[in-house]
Structure 1
Amino acid sequence: MQNEVIQWLLRGDASIQYLTHALLLKSTSNELDRLQRRIEIEGFGHRLLSCQADSGHWGLWYYQPKWTCTHYTLYELKHLGIRKTIANCTNMVQRAFDECMIESGGVNFAKSNMPSDIAIDGMFLDYAAYFCPEDRRIEQIVSHLLSQRKPGGGYSWDDNATVGDAHTTICVLEGFLSYVDSGTSYKIDQVRTAISESIWFIKDMRLFFDDDKRYVKLTYPHRYRYDILRFLECATRSKIPTDPHIDRAIDWLRNKCKGGYWELEYTHPGAVHFDYETLHEPSRFITLKALYILEHR
């Protein structure tokens, strides 16, 4: 059955083919390079790039509107696996540094004078560390995020909060994981500690299983929102050992499987460039993520 599912994945979008070879088949670097270069010239990646305006932005600006703005489009392109050096993306990340970085070390994507949003900072680090790993301004974001850790290891958009929240914590966790993957050494031990503490915080909150029914829906793209699948992917990337909390989540994921496939159960409302997949139908993105997670458990 799994071979049949793999073949189904390989009949999908160029991005799915590349990610399947990268995450499941462990193909050669030459094969991965060939597949990755296709993402920008066909399928979802090409379509997203084609939505870029003459201004360089997607949507109206960095964060207007959801989900077709520059911020979320760069985030999607990164997670499709598009090449790290593609100028459409690297140029806009550098512009974001130039135009939106504030004294705290975060980025303010609002068109008004206000503090940065920590969840947005985490997401920005996620794709900035991917597209522009050598930009030294990333160090400022890392220092800023490390300084925002709440007691217990979580993060919050609310500067006055005494405990972290699910959405902000998962965004920062994902950003730190991307930063580690970039191979940069600045404050790397502190970042690794922050990753462990963020995961511990989420586990200490029982993975937020019972906090919001949307958390237990299979969703893609995740946007800024927390869900169990997104947490499991982060936990797998961080190579944390299993425990009762992880076991519960793995059982939940297995029970979602229908004949070897996982369905798209929910999408977050908002404007989109186009739909990747059909609601309540088998999802290649989610099936790929599920197989990747289960392979490492």
Structure 2
Amino acid sequence: MNTDTASQDNVTTWLLDADPAITWQALRDLTDASAAAVTAERARVAETGWGRRLLDLQDDGQWAGGACFPGRGWRPTGPAVGDPDGQPWVATMPTLRLLREFGIDPADRAVREAVNGVREQSTWEHAGQRFFDGEVEPCINGDTVAVGAYFGENVDGVAQRLIGEQLEDGGWNCEAENGSIRSSFHSTICVLDGLLEYERAGGQVPVADARRRGEEYLLTRGLFRRASTGEVVDGDWLQFSFPTHWHYDVLRGLDYFRTVGGTPDPRLAEAVEHVRSKRRPDGTWALENTHPGLVHFELEDGDGKPSRWNTLRAKRVLRWYDAARPA
């Protein structure tokens, strides 16, 4: 066994020695584990570790007493940590978004009970809309479609709204209601995540054409450059975060295209090589740009330290790209 192969094997072992939310995805995406083994490990996400902890933090059909933000007067009763001056990531939407990232089984009884509670009791801060009826901003509605479709809820109306809000350049922008005619990478990736999840869940609204136009918006820009000048749009997008929340970065964009599958578009090449260049000598990728705010509990050891989440995502992106690109 050569040194590089040994290093890769050690990293995979490190990923498999983690919370079930990571372990089951590492089994599925990085090994030749049987479907039965993957399914068994995935079932553990709702039973133990981070997934179970998040489910246990729900109260009265919501998390932190609100849909997007903590409810008035809410105070953490558990070990909530993080930057209190940042955006709080403990309410219902960021928590459901994280449970989806964990790959928790939507059919699990405890998960169904939690989602039923959200449907019946959670409403948006904007105007009191029911949670799965969506809000007004495309980025929030993209997330609503993503979590709704993933957990088996009817989000047809929100998907239809997003189709009608697609901008001329192919993407979406939460500032469109204020007159913006240029799309946002942040809003666009949230909507694309949602439309892909919705399409794969068998949603009734035709979204494939809009999704491909949105993908073209990102591909035309190489995932991180301005279409007009070729300059890097935002240096932060070249650093990798987890959770990403509503934020965009290159690794999030590439993991989306990996999920789409098929032969990689040649315009992904520069972004892929950037991910490859960030691999550390020990074979891991670091956590680099944590988005500040209150969280239920920490998932990583902090910026600059090896990140299981970023390592998992980077390795599976490279595995897909290297195996699927034309010779």
Same fold, TM exceeding 0.5? yes
Say if 2:280 is the partner of 1:264.
Answer: no
| Deviating 4+ runs (over 6 angstroms) | none
Would you say how many aligned residue pairs link Structure 1 and Structure 2? 283
Q: Deviations over 1:63-92 (max 9, x none)?
A: 113200011101101110111123454445
Say if 2:169 is the partner of 1:163.
Answer: no
Q: Separation in 2 of the partners of 1:177 and 1:146? A: 13
| One-letter code aligned to 2:273 | D
| One-letter code aligned to 2:290 | T
Q: Separation in 1 of the partners of 2:253 and 2:224? A: 10
Which residue is 2:83 aligned to? none
Equivalent residue of 1:207, what SS?
coil
Show structure 1 runs of 5+ residues with no match.
101-107
Q: Separation in 1 of the partners of 2:263 and 2:214? A: 15
Which residue is 2:161 aligned to? 144
Q: Separation in 1 of the partners of 2:100 and 2:128? A: 28
Q: Give yes or no for contact 1:217–1:227 (8 Å, CA) kept in 2.
A: yes
Shift of 1:217: 0.9
Aligned pairs for 1:1-297 (under 5 A) are 1-53=7-59, 55-65=60-70, 66-94=88-116, 96-97=118-119, 109-112=124-127, 116-132=136-152, 135=153, 137-158=154-175, 159=177, 160-182=179-201, 184=202, 186-187=204-205, 190-209=206-225, 210-239=232-261, 241-259=263-281, 260-279=283-302, 280-297=304-321
Shift of 1:296: 1.1
Change in 2 beyond 3 A, CA 1:288/1:265: same
Q: Give yes or no for contact 1:153–1:197 (8 Å, CA) kept in 2.
A: yes
Q: Separation in 1 of the partners of 2:259 and 2:48? A: 28
Q: Deviations over 1:170-223 (max 9, x none)?
A: 0000111111332x1523xx4222222111101223423422222111100000
Q: Give yes or no for contact 1:218–1:266 (8 Å, CA) kept in 2.
A: yes
Q: Separation in 2 of the partners of 1:155 and 1:218? A: 22
| One-letter code aligned to 1:48 | L
Q: Give yes or no for contact 1:156–1:163 (8 Å, CA) kept in 2.
A: yes
With the length of structure 1 as denominator, give the TM-score of the two structures: 0.88
Shift of 1:29: 2.8
**Which structure has the bigger radius of gyration?**
2
Change in 2 beyond 3 A, CA 1:96/1:50: closer
Q: Separation in 1 of the partners of 2:93 and 2:111? A: 10
Q: Give yes or no for contact 2:144–2:194 (8 Å, CA) kept in 1.
A: yes
Q: Give yes or no for contact 1:74–1:89 (8 Å, CA) kept in 2.
A: no
Shift of 1:240: 5.6
Shift of 1:8: 0.9
Change in 2 beyond 3 A, CA 1:247/1:50: same
Change in 2 beyond 3 A, CA 1:39/1:97: closer
Q: Give yes or no for contact 1:93–1:128 (8 Å, CA) kept in 2.
A: no
Q: Separation in 2 of the partners of 1:92 and 1:82? A: 12
Equivalent residue of 2:148, what SS?
helix
Q: Give yes or no for contact 1:14–1:35 (8 Å, CA) kept in 2.
A: yes
Q: Give yes or no for contact 1:63–1:71 (8 Å, CA) kept in 2.
A: yes
Equivalent residue of 1:52, what SS?
coil
Q: Deviations over 1:224-245 (max 9, x none)?
A: 0111110000111122644453
Q: Give yes or no for contact 2:46–2:111 (8 Å, CA) kept in 1.
A: no
Change in 2 beyond 3 A, CA 1:111/1:155: closer
Q: Deviations over 1:94-149 (max 9, x none)?
A: 5555567xxxxxxx7215369611111101111111111xx4x3221221111111
Q: Deviations over 1:251-283 (max 9, x none)?
A: 100000002110101110111001100121111
Q: Separation in 1 of the partners of 2:100 and 2:311? A: 19
Equivalent residue of 1:177, what SS?
helix
Change in 2 beyond 3 A, CA 1:251/1:81: same
